[in-house]
Chain A
Amino acid sequence: MFIDYDIIVVGAGHAGCEAAAAAANLGSRVLLITMDMNKIAQMSCNPAMGGIAKGQIIREIDAIGGYSGIVSDKSTIQFRMLNRSKGPAMWSPRSQNDRMLFSQYWREILEATPNVDFWQDMVKELVLDKGKVCGVITGMGQKIGCKAVILTSGTFLNGIIHIGTKQFGGGRIGEKSSTGITEQLVSLGFESGRMKTGTPPRVDGRSLNYDKMERQDGDENPGRFSYSSLTTPVSNQRCCWITYTNEAVHEVLRTGFDESPMYAGRIQGLGPRYCPSIEDKINRFAERERHQIFVEPEGWSTVEIYVNGFSTSLPDHVQIKALRLIPGFEDAKIFRPGYAIEYDYFPPTQLKLTLETHLIENLFFAGQINGTTGYEEAACQGLIAGINAHGKLAGKEDFVLKRSEAYIGVLIDDLVNKGTDEPYRMFTSRAEYRIMLRQDNADIRLTEKGYRLGLASKLRMHAVEEKEKQTADIVTYFKKTSVIPTDINPLLAELSTAPIPQNYKLDAILSRPQVDMANLKRLPQVNEFLQGFKEDAVLQAEVLMKYEGYLEKEKQMVDKMNRLEEIRIKDGFDYNTVKSISLEAREKLIKQRPVTLGQAARISGISPADISVLLVHLGR
């Protein structure tokens, strides 16, 4: 009853959807298997996309030719550019989204992709042939053949939900968990572990008193994620609200500690430190009298509210009692309580940089199964796995992004080389080249790669070329055009920066921290010149000129680093012939099989001396 597929994608969350779409668009015949067709691309946690470091990832996905940016834009109910007060490298787009619309748009996109078929079922076993995956067996007993499998199991593998002392199996509340895969993979030699995450209660917006909260609006001129012409910025926006917990709330929460699955030791998995439950916050930071709560609407028309900042797995009666002591929540009714969920993951050091497993050929992992958290982190892994699964079958080169090219590269490189003990979330500080990896230049960095793959359209490629050309023109103008003191000094005085004694080039003025492009546009000559240039090219030029020195420093670091990146380690290199490296280094290298010396240098436990020794052996 099934054709022989090229690729089966197991799971239709953010990773699964991107993987299926990418592989199908590249020409593979794809079957997307999900346990519930109505839950495609669920926002299981907060109804928002992007944010600091994550917004950059969405723009990277978009530049390569994935859909997360487009779907986010189409379902946006509020848009904000975070970190506006910092330098452009820190600007991070974030949207609040309509949860149901988000899911709906993703389903529409996948249904409109000719090479994607669907099947609603649970995958409980992989079919293998000589160390290669060649199909799956489903809960209903269907055996479906394929050449590659991408596992994106999210929180579903042996998922256990905890609310107070209650615990039950499930992948999300109200949904069954998935079983069988972990056990099979472990029997094949995989190492697995447990992770934990949590989510807050959802409440009825009609029962809240917003007069007691602070209002948080979206940007006056909202932006969007996608570089394409397929979306437009949101015109109307919904606002969010901010309120705070207090000592009385904390007091009530403490009464539930005895029944907390975390403190009673019923949860073994490690949770994320940067996304603690409210009980963790008041426990670890007892001196804090209050904690911020973001009250976020779940969509345009629904009354459902997401209580961001109140993630908890305390008993439901404690949750509601504490919640009602928060200003504005006095009469709150809840739709469903918060809960903690534990699930299986596979330490990602068992993967290649393509996200294929070392142990089983053509088996790829993406998303939370690799120990990450977050929609964006999952989606970009799905995209990379989809591209590489197709590439592997089609005999193409591996698609691997470098740390200096994309946050996606940083993420996968970190996962594969260092592994992770707690759910891995992206931060800008994880990227050593974050001045280069900006949300404003993801298209310049990556569209060409997407275009060469066949994912990004010609139209997008042309747009990038035009942007680069315009940027170069603006930079040239600024570098060769002088400004005279009488024209600029009043402006400089206004901006509290020193006047110029003689003619200065425009780029020298712009490089002053107090001066930005908007200021300089007040000079008629500049304003006139910039007419006809696109806004994103103007911004690009501004960034390049203002941060020239720092960008140069980063480039030098990249150059140094790349020397090691360019030294490849042959597949099957026998580390046992290298006597001088430490035992720990040898074990790790044999297990993780780095492709380059640069990658080897980032594996924890590998010392610079080990790298020097390897260098000698790889010397020719």
Chain B
Amino acid sequence: MSAYLHSDLHDTICALATPAGTGAIGVIRVSGNKALEIVNALFKGKDLCKQPSHTVHFGKISDGSRVIDEVLASVFIAPTSYTGDDTVELSCHGSPYIQQQILQLLVQQGCRLAKPGEFTLRAFLNKKLDLSQAEAVADLIASDSAESHKMAMQQMRGGFSEQIKHMREQLVNFASLIELELDFSEEDVEFAKREELIVLVSKIAGVIQNLLQSFNYGNAIKNGIPTVIAGKPNAGKSTLLNALINEERAIVSDIAGTTRDTIEEAFVMDGITFRLIDTAGIRQQAADEIEEIGIERAYEKLQKASIIMYVFDATVTSPEQLNQDISSLKKYQAIVIPVANKADMLANAPAFVETSIAISAKNNTGIDLLRQRLVTAVRKDEIKNDIIITNLRHYEALKHAADALQQVLNGIGAHVSGELLALDIRKALFHLAEITGEVTTDDLLANIFSKFCIGK
């Protein structure tokens, strides 16, 4: 296991070419001999593989079931591109969420995320740049590698690095057991039972799976926490949205069912971005078809919410009613914050209101308190996954590791010999090492020698 994958020069790479963050548009660059083929697989429009160099084409990027964005694809055929390899530049809308989604799709199609300076490195190797420019690239690579580890560590929240380390130790132990029976089968030592190995690998694979799942949530933190405002019609949800963002964004009226579609707005508090999603009020009998669709969408949004602010009208809601509504929301993977609206209209707040955040959306009271409550929810990690990954490169590495472990499990299931299992374990270790640092065969041997009495 060495650096061979790190410096691969022939695969297809992709990255955001414009600065990260929200802008009018963002450009994603894809370069390598499969660039056209890969983009084409996601692109609904003309067949990009058949287009001449230096042409621009309108189309939609789709994940197969849904359209992610409408984009312009600029096609550059080798060698007349920046890198000298086939290149497609996708101009998409400037939302970090959309950009991440597109990058993720590209990775799924076989792209690798480019390392800093890698496009320029290829440009140099294809003789597109002179040496002084290339030296700048070299400096960039060198400084990045020193910084990137630090960065990666900073990016990790919770016990991510701890968990990866633990997993790696277990995998090294597992790999050692396999190596033990291969290299030391003549020794008087006991070898691991396959059933135990299955348990161990499944456990590790499970942890990785959880981390992979947390990626979507991790992205949520990066791109905004989906915070849904839910509640019965006319509870004051839209008023609350306007109050939180200090803007008359949603149409407010006394007519129940005014909000027909979901409305999204972001606001930042203590450095955390919340994506506020106002939904149509949920009631059994929709006034018309449009409201019905709105209600359906509201349910969809609830599925994806990390936080649900359940707004109820404190003047008309009974404690039993509230309990029932809140517990019906428990099935969503989100924190539920009950918000008692119109609290100022009650002379004496009943006890059940006190467990909620009491506000008056209309008079702007209690809003700061609610904002604080949102921040604490994130800070205190009340949110389900205590460990999350936010970095697409980590995601990619974990994905590869998970695939390799699946191969290990398949192999054990098919009773293949240890050296074949070892091949896939090493692959898994290699990919984990992309996050945590290298594992060498010397490490495996050292582990064997420290744990088993080897040697005639």
- Interface, chain A (partner B; CB < 8 A): 46, 51-53, 82-83, 85-87, 89-90, 272-276, 281, 284-285, 288, 291-292, 294, 308-309, 311, 418, 427-430, 432, 434-435, 512-514, 547, 550, 553-554, 557, 560-561, 563-564, 578-582, 598, 601-602, 606-613, 615-617, 619-620
Contacts and interface: CB of A to CB of B under 8 A. Distances in A.
Contact of B138 (A281, A429, A578): A578
Given A435-B419, A579-B139, A608-B7, A429 B456 contact: no
B182 A83 contact: yes
Contacts of B7: 564, 601, 608, 611-612, 615
Interface residues of B, number: 54
B415 A514 contact: yes
A429 B441 contact: yes
Interface of B: 1-10, 115, 121, 124-125, 127, 134-135, 137-139, 141-142, 144-146, 179, 181-188, 414-420, 422-423, 426, 441-442, 444-446, 449, 453-456
Contacts of B145: 607-609
A82 B185 contact: yes
B414 A513 contact: yes
B134 A553 contact: no
Nearest to A403: B2
B423 A613 contact: no
A142 B71 CA distance: 84
Which of B4, B185, B449, B453 is most buried by chain A, counting CB atoms within 10 A of its CB? Answer: B4
Contacts of A606: 3
Given A90-B418, A276-B455, A82 B186 contact: yes
A81 to B, nearest CB: 12
Nearest to B455: A275
B441 A435 contact: no
Contacts of A434: 419
A619 to B, nearest CB: 5
Nearest to B117: A612
B449 A273 contact: yes
Contacts of A601: 2-4, 7
Given A86-B418, A616-B135, A560 B453 contact: no
A255 to B, nearest CB: 21
Contacts of B135: 579-580, 616
Contacts of A418: 442
Contacts of A53: 183
Nearest to A602: B2
Given A90-B418, A432-B1, A609-B144, A292 B125 contact: no
Instruction: For the complex of A and B, list the 4 residue pairs with the smallest distance between their C-beta atoms, beginning with the closest.
Output: A609-B145, A87-B417, A608-B6, A580-B142
B431 to A, nearest CB: 13
A294 B456 contact: yes
Given A90-B185, A274-B184, 13 more contacts: A83-B185, A272-B455, A274-B449, A276-B453, A276-B454, A281-B453, A427-B441, A428-B182, A432-B441, A547-B420, A579-B135, A615-B9, A616-B125
A51 B142 contact: no
Contacts of A554: 423
Contacts of B115: 612
B455 A613 contact: no
A469 B188 CA distance: 42
B182 A90 contact: yes
Contacts of B456: 46, 275, 292, 294, 308-309
Contact of B420 (A51, A87, A609): A87
B353 to A, nearest CB: 59
